[in-house]
């Protein structure tokens, strides 16, 4: 065995030595393992080898030093990880990608090597690399950001025999580590009907997008997979990463940003601000904006709270003492009275008290304030923000699908015109026009994706926060009895339906699926 390990490591070193490296600033390394040809014929997979080759090609263009390990037995996989531990040391970005069979056993995920031949637990331990092994490699290498991607949730003999649960088990990302799974816990990922798996195809479609943070890029990947599979596969992410990290740098002289994308980005930045000036500036820039009424409400609420008398401090303290600080903090944040950066523990009760007092003083009868009323008011605001955002997401998904169809037709036409123009110069003006058309369609698609980046992640933030305080018996009727800046009883039917959908997502919230966009499958347009 030692002899096999030695030669495997020598082979990895040779591969590293010959891989061309593009100039991209700091060191960027990747280890891609794809197992298609298993010793057991019934376990053969079509696409992992293709996935590794295609992803390796894309990563090299992005300046990564790539090692491809295809159809590896356990010795080969371990040797590749050993070398990755060395090459990834102190790298700016280190990526580990595995495509093939994976299974959860004993609380750990096992990445199955090609020499697996005995469908029992003992056989698995002799022929699988554990996720813990890979995580230790990242911990020892300590790159600025470590990215671990597993496209490894296919059906396997352990699940079929009832020896293991389906899919992979959740594993939280450690500091500086981002873990992306092709599907959510306990589910199966599709190998794909084309040359790549559904997950890898989506990854290839977005990984080269200039100036897109890694987390936003994976958000687009999740969105595409959910849409392409009609909600049957939902990728998810665990991460504990600080700052922004880019696979592809932003282009100089980038295209003018879409107006709606700008508005959504600004709103997301200020949505939980405690400064009324931020909302005044928003209204100045977008007087008829999507969140116009909410901005007016926030200004009125924050100004009232700021000029409210000190009130009965004892009453506020009693109210705080009767509540869960985390729930109160989340509710006050939803109302715009507390910055989301504040810690949600009793350790910052001194910061919660002024915000809670501000909430009490803006009520018609501050003495009547109670925790249930606070949660109801925060639920009402969250419902409106969520329902409005869902409408924007649904509209943009419909637009995205239409643009994708148009882009496919235009690209096919362009290829045909290029063939004609190669032998007929009279077709050159038409060729240029076709190129301009395709470029315009691509720009429109990029704008839609930017809008979806903001609205998708903002909805997820509102949802995650609302889980803490929305009462179990809450209903969409709450949005019909607000009494501040607008007659919410005139809300249209779609708004009410989306408020109910938001409540459904809250009721289905599961810590095990946090990090996915499972709710997206409920708004997939039916063709």
* Ordered mean pLDDT values, 10 residues apiece, the chain (527 residues): 39 38 64 94 90 97 96 96 95 95 81 86 84 93 94 63 54 76 75 84 95 92 91 86 87 67 84 85 89 85 70 71 84 84 53 80 80 91 92 93 94 95 92 94 92 91 93 83 42 81 90 75 81
pLDDT on residue 147: 95
pLDDT of residue 21: 38
What pLDDT score does 164 carry? 52
Q: What is the pLDDT of residue 58?
A: 97
Please provide the distance, in angstroms rounded to a whole number, between the alpha carbons at the two ends of the chain.
Answer: 56
Q: Which helix (H) or strand (E) holds 430?
A: helix 428-466
Cα separation, 45 vs 365, whole angstroms = 67
Secondary structure class of 6 (helix, strand, coil): helix
CA torsion through residues 313, 316, 321, 325, sign: negative
pLDDT of residue 349: 66
Instruction: Tell me what pLDDT residue 291 has.
Output: 86
In this structure, which long-range contacts are made by residues 68-71, counting pairs with CB atoms below 8 Å and at least 24 apart in sequence?
Answer: 68/15, 68/32, 68/34, 69/12, 69/31, 69/32, 69/33, 69/34, 70/33, 70/34, 70/35, 70/36, 71/34, 71/35, 71/36, 71/37, 71/114
Unique residue bearing structure tokens 């709450």: 478
pLDDT value of position 166 = 53
DSSP codes of every residue in 130-183: EHHHHHHHHHHH--SEEEEEEE-----HHHHTTSS-SS-------TTEEEEESS
At residue 120, the pLDDT reads 74
The DSSP element (H or E) to which 97 belongs, if any, is strand 93-99
Between the alpha carbon of residue 30 and those of residues 27, 63, 83, 498, the distances in Å are 10, 10, 11, 42
Query: Cα 502 vs. chain centroid, distance in angstroms?
Result: 18
Q: How far apart are CA 316 and CA 278, in angstroms?
A: 27
């Amino acid at each position: 065995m030692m002899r096999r390990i030695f030669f495997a490591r020598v082979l990895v070193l040779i591969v590293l030595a010959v891989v061309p490296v593009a100039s991209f600033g700091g060191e960027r390394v990747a280890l891609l393992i794809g197992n298609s040809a298993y010793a057991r014929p019934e376990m053969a997979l079509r696409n992992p080898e293709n996935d590794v080759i295609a992803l390796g090609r894309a990563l090299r263009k992005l300046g990564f030093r790539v090692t491809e390990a295809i159809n590896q037995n356990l010795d080969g996989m371990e040797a590749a990880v050993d070398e990755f531990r060395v090459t990834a040391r102190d790298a700016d970005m280190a990526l580990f990608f595995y495509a093939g069979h994976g299974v959860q056993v004993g609380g750990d995920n096992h990445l199955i090597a090609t020499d697996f031949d005995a469908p029992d637990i003992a056989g698995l331990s002799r022929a699988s690399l554990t996720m813990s092994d890979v995580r230790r490699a990242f911990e020892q290498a300590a790159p600025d950001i470590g990215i671990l991607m597993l496209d490894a949730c296919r059906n396997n003999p352990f699940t079929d025999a009832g020896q293991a649960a389906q899919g992979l088990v959740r594993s939280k990302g450690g500091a500086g580590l981002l873990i992306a799974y092709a599907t959510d816990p306990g589910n199966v990922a599709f190998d794909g009907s084309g040359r790549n798996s559904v997950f890898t195809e989506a990854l290839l479609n977005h990984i080269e997008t200039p100036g897109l943070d890694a987390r936003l890029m994976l958000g687009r990947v999740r969105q595409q997979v959910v849409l392409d599979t009609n909600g049957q596969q939902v990728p998810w992410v665990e991460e504990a990463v600080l700052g922004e990290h880019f696979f592809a740098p932003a282009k100089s002289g980038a295209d003018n940003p879409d107006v709606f994308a700008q508005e959504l980005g600004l709103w997301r930045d200020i949505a939980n601000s405690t400064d009324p000036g931020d909302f005044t500036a928003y209204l100045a820039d977008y007087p008829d904006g999507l969140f116009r009424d909410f901005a007016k409400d926030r200004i009125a609420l924050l100004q009232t709270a700021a000029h409210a008398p000190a009130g009965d401090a004892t009453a506020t303290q009693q109210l705080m003492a009767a509540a869960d600080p985390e729930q109160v903090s989340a509710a006050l944040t939803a109302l715009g009275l507390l910055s989301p950066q504040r810690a949600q523990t009793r350790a910052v009760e001194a910061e919660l008290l002024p915000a809670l007092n501000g909430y009490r003083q803006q009520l018609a009868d501050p003495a009547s304030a109670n925790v249930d009323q606070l949660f109801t008011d925060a639920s009402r605001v969250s419902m409106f923000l969520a329902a409005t955002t869902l409408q924007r997401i649904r509209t943009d998904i419909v637009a995205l699908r239409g643009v994708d169809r148009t882009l496919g037709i235009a690209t096919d036409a362009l290829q045909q015109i290029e063939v004609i123009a190669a032998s007929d110069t009279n077709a050159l003006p038409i060729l240029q026009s076709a190129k301009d058309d395709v470029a315009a369609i691509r720009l429109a698609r990029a704008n839609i994706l930017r809008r979806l980046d903001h609205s998708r992640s903002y909805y997820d933030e509102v949802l995650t926060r609302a889980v803490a305080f929305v009462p179990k018996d809450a209903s969409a009727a709450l949005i019909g009895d607000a009494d501040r800046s607008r007659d919410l009883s005139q809300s249209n039917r779609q708004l009410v339906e989306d408020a109910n959908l938001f409540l459904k997502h809250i009721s289905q919230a599961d810590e095990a699926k946090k990090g996915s966009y499972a709710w997206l499958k409920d708004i997939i347009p039916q063709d």
